[in-house]
Structure 1
Amino acid sequence: MQGWRSNMEDAHTAILKLSAKKGYSYFGVYDGHSGQNAAKYTGNHLHVRISKDGTFEADLTTAIQNGFLATDDDLKNDPQFQNDPSGCTAVMAIVTPYNEIYVGNAGDSRAVLSEDGIAFPMSHDHKPVNEAESKRIMNAGGFIEFERVNGNLAVCRALGDFEFKRNKNLHAKDQIITAFPDVQKREIKFESTEFLVLACDGIWECLSSQDVVSFIRKCISENKDLHKTCEDLMERCLAKGGELDGIGYDNMTVIIVGFLHNKTEKEWYEWMAKRYGEIGPEYKDDVF
């Protein structure tokens, strides 16, 4: 959803069958800033870089880390994007045939699991005020002003943003802004792990992780499919005015991944609808 912004700078990827990787699925949300080029490029290439990394089968965490840095390097060296100021956060998930979820994150987009209706974080936001992040920023020659990197960026990990990655004496992981992701792994628990939400900060600025999980479960209990649920969630977070800044005015992108647990899609919706109100907290609206 473009929201009230003049341009849509987000991108996303959803691949149920990752090419040449039997049984793997890939999902990603990319929140662009200062233009849409970095987000669009990342959406088209990050999953390819990760899946083709030589460590993919043996060490998926390393493959994800390598894929982020390689995609960032490809973007920097692409003649089409010379002097392009854009950047993007990236949160992605790979579901493996071994009932595992791997989430890689750089920035403040977020991944959250619903475990019996309880929000379980699969990423944490990279903000300049975080101690480890601020230490890296200052060690690389940057500063933090108004809770922003060099008084400019509100996030401190991103692809693109190459004006903050010019220190030739430092590794890509140690630059003022880095594309190096945190990676989390979690087992998909039978009859407990309900769904995964990937969304940009336009959602999380408006609702807590638990509120998002509860809102989604409520929508499903009202016989809404995941497509309609995504629409309703974004409408819930959309501000009612027409300004260009503030909570509820940003671009918004959401992906919800349901885990069937050997059920049909119809059976999964029925199972989820029954659980709402019996297991996990109910959604209580609190308009911002």
Structure 2
Amino acid sequence: MGQLISGPVTFKDTKVWQNSQFSVAASSMQGWRVRMEDAYACFLNLPTSDSLSPPTAYFAVFDGHGGTKISEYAATNLHTKIMAEPAYAKGDLVGAMRSGVLRLDAEMQVKFTGHLSHSNTKRSPFDLPDVEVEGRSLFPSSGGGVDVGGSTCIALLLRGNHAYCANCGDSRAVLSRQGVAEALSVDHKPTMTSEWSRIVAAGGWVAANRVNGNLALSRALGDFVYKRNSTLSAEEQIVSAEPDVTQCELKVTETDEFIVLGCDGIWDVMTNQEVISFVRSRLANGRPLDLICEELMMHCLAPNCNPNGLGCDNMTVVIICFLNGGTYDDLKQRCSRLCPAGPAVDVLSP
């Protein structure tokens, strides 16, 4: 657990956006941590010079650790990397998100450590082309051990009736399907069989449920001290930046109501269903979306520094509500429908 302070910082950096398709709010709170290391990015419609390109929304949360360099750089630049991928222009958003995340990580390693110490990806010496920052070499014989921290990445593209979710780490995306929580991502933890196997094969180990006894997640942007094996690809390193990318068909005219993106400061305290029920019950009561974000974080905030650290982390949440050409009041009515999972527990009601 990171360093804590004597009392929580409860100031909230909250923003809202809305168009005919979405109502969105995002909020971050430092909490009990010494500094705020999270970052997020929201675009209701990604900018493009191609007038024929279909409208695409982008939302992402980055939970930094060991500093803010990686989370802040990723929040500023990931969407441009995804859009620059040849796969993006071809409509292959799954491929674009995967290669865009890997490209960004390679670029950050060059930028922040001076070189790229692994052999890029499984696909070619660089199927992710031309990563160079300030003229520094991509292929030194060794190195890459500068510790600049790291970050999770949970990124969401919405195009037409599909959601594309790229996950690297243990932040999450969860869809409300008529009040039932449906996970769009799976946490990357070192205790997972596939993750453990990669870690050990790359020369690492798992102790106390952590990579090399230190890192609680097994995939991340940054964390370049775990990416120094020059004989392995980016995907094969002790800690990998390879995202799992999922595609989900949305039913916004039928059952789908909203998606919640959040860091583990939220999900360590509440289950997926608890978060969905918390948000949905407040939407059904017409609560403003920005206040729902803030109330969710305050609900997760620990009243004191407890030994297990739950509720003491930085917190960031993004809620994307589907308007589908309707109004916020229409959304209120949709969220008032009976939930097949049953009523929310009392503690989650407004």
TM-score range, shorter chain: over 0.9
After TM superposition, the runs of 4+ consecutive aligned structure 1 residues lying more than 4 A away are 79-82, 242-245, 277-280
- The higher radius of gyration belongs to 2
Q: Secondary structure at the match of 1:51?
A: helix
1:108 corresponds in structure 2 to 170
In 2, are the aligned partners of 1:5 and 1:244 still within 8 Å (CA)? Answer: no
1:68-107 map, 5 Å = 68-79=101-112, 83-96=146-159, 98-107=160-169
Residues 88-145 of structure 1: per-residue CA shift (max 9 Å, x gap): 000010000x210000000000010011110001000000000000000000000000
Which structure 2 residues correspond to residues 164-175 of structure 1 after superposition, within 5 A? Answer: 164-175=226-237
Match of 1:33 in 2: 65
Going from structure 1 to structure 2, the CA distance change for 1:60 and 1:169 (only over 3 Å counts) comes to: same
Secondary structure of the 1:12 match is: strand
Counterpart selection for 1:9 from 32, 37, 46: 37
1:186 aligned residue: 248
Mapping of residues 245-264 of structure 1, within 5 Å: 246-264=309-327
Contact 1:4–1:244 (Cα < 8 Å) also in 2: no
Once the two structures are TM-superposed, the CA of residue 84 in structure 1 deviates from its matched residue by 4.1
Q: Distance in 2 between matches of 1:240 and 1:33?
A: 23
CA distance 1:172–1:240, shift in 2 (3 Å): same
Residues 246 and 278 (structure 1), Cα distance of their counterparts in 2 relative to 1, 3 Å cut: closer
The offset of 1:267, in angstroms, is 2.3
Higher strand share: 2
What code does the residue aligned with 1:107 have? G
* Inter-partner Cα distance in structure 2 for 1:244 and 1:33: 20
Stretch of structure 1 that moved more, 216-225 or 72-81: 72-81
2:56 maps to what in 1?
24
C-alpha spacing 1:107/1:131, structure 2 compared with 1 (3 Å): same
C-alpha RMSD over aligned residues = 1.8
Native 8 Å contact 1:218 1:282 kept in 2: no
Which residue of the partner structure matches residue 8 of structure 2?
none
Task: Determine which of 207, 210, 215 is the counterpart of 1:145.
Answer: 207
Where does the alignment leave 5 or more consecutive residues of structure 2 unmatched?
1-28, 115-143
Q: Which moved more, 1:216-225 or 1:196-205?
A: 216-225
| Contact kept in structure 2, 1:127 and 1:154, CA below 8 Å | yes
Instruction: Name the one with the larger helix percent.
Output: 1
- 2:75 corresponds in structure 1 to 43
Q: Supply the AA of the counterpart residue of 2:311.
A: G
Contact persistence 1:191–1:261 (CA under 8 A): no
CA shift in 2, pair 1:61/1:129, >3 Å: same
- Contact (CA 8 Å) 1:89, 1:107: kept in 2 or not? yes
Q: Which residue does the alignment assign to 1:206?
A: 269
Secondary structure (helix, strand or coil) at the match of 2:261 reads strand
- What 5-or-longer segments of structure 1 have no aligned partner? none
Most deviating of 205-214 and 77-86:
77-86
Question: Quick one: which of 196, 200, 204 aligns to 1:134?
Answer: 196
CA contact (8 A) 2:57 2:157 kept: yes
Corresponding position: 1:284 with 2:345:
yes
How many residues matched? Answer: 284
Q: CA deviation at 1:218?
A: 1.1
